[in-house]
């Protein structure tokens, strides 16, 4: 039986850089985000586990999938348009953590996105965003934020990072999808401050 050739570090860099070049290449997207994407590459250990080999195969398919590339390209175009309009689009882990923690608590308390209780949670979340990005809460800002969340909230992007983590032997980050699904639904139910 032929021995499987373990992908090299160069194979991993090439796989990710080709994907990034195709999806972000000619756009003025957030340079911090693009730089982070280029540094987080799959580095297969010398003796990979079956799970790591499977993750490599799945990641290779994912970054070559036309629909996924089109979706990531749409995210990059939206980010570039926000930057062109003067909006800040940096990496803001604090506001992401606020959403994760506040929505987790709301869900644990049984707060539904369309409820009056959700309106108060939404005020806190929007305050985090407006403070971080320098905007005022308004119906227009909520529409822009809803569009941003809808474009960015693709479960395949989380899968991309989970696969990289598996290959590299890192802890797989917890999913943000349930929190951002709730946040998106709450924004749809409460479009006006």
Q: Residues 157-184: pLDDT tens digits?
A: 999 999 999 999 999 999 999 999 999 9
pLDDT digits (tens, 9 = 90+) for 145-155: 999 999 988 99
pLDDT of residue 130: 93
Cα–Cα distance for residue pair 182/165, rounded to 1 Å: 25
119/16 Cα distance (integer angstroms): 40
Band of pLDDT at residue 2, cut at 50, 70 and 90: very low
Mean pLDDT, range 43-69, rounded to an integer: 95
pTM > 0.85: yes or no:
yes
Asked whether the predicted pLDDT for residue 9 surpasses 70, the reply is yes
What sign does the CA torsion over 61, 162, 38, 94 have? positive
Positive or negative, the CA dihedral 158, 123, 128, 104 is: negative
Residue 22 vs residue 4, higher pLDDT: 22
Mean local confidence (pLDDT), 126-139? 93
């Amino acid at each position: 039986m032929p021995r499987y050739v373990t992908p090299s570090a160069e194979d991993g860099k090439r796989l990710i850089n080709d994907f990034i070049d195709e999806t972000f290449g000619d756009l003025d997207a957030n340079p911090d985000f693009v730089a982070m994407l280029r540094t987080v590459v799959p580095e297969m250990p010398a003796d990979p586990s079956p799970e790591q080999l499977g993750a490599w195969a799945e990641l290779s398919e994912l970054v070559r999938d036309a629909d996924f590339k089109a979706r990531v390209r749409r995210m990059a175009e939206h980010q570039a348009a926000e930057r062109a309009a003067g909006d800040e689009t940096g990496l803001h882990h604090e506001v992401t953590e606020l959403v994760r923690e506040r929505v987790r608590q709301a869900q644990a308390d049984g707060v539904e996105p369309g409820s009056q209780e959700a309106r108060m949670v939404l005020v806190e979340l929007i305050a985090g965003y407006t403070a971080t990005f320098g905007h005022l809460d308004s119906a227009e800002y909520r529409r822009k934020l809803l569009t941003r969340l809808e474009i960015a909230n693709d479960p395949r992007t989380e899968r991309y990072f989970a696969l990289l983590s598996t290959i590299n032997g890192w802890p797989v980050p917890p999913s943000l999808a349930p929190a951002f699904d709730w946040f998106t639904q709450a924004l749809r139910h409460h479009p006006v401050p």
